[in-house]
Amino acid sequence: MNSPKLEVKCSVDCCDYWKDSCCNASALEVNPMTGKTPHTSDDTACTTFKPNK
């Protein structure tokens, strides 16, 4: 079975996976913000984020 492919637009330009307004990570994990039960997208966060150097 083929894995789904998704183009992820991202504006976090200080992330190591960011390039040209898109995410270039091979997989992406998104979770609720710490201590939150999500009700809106503001309550979620990208766990794959890695600060660039």
45 is a site residue for ligand SF4 (CB under 6 A): no
End-to-end CA distance of the chain: 36
Taking CB under 6 A as the criterion, which residues in 12-41 touch ligand SF4? 12, 15, 17-18, 23, 25, 28
Number of alpha helices (DSSP H) and beta strands (DSSP E) in the chain: 0, 4
44 within 8 A of 32, measured Cβ to Cβ: yes
The correct pick among 5, 6, 10, 20 for binding ligand SF4 (CB under 6 A) is 10
Residues that bind ligand SF4 (CB under 6 A): 8, 10, 12, 15, 17-18, 23, 25, 28, 46, 48-49
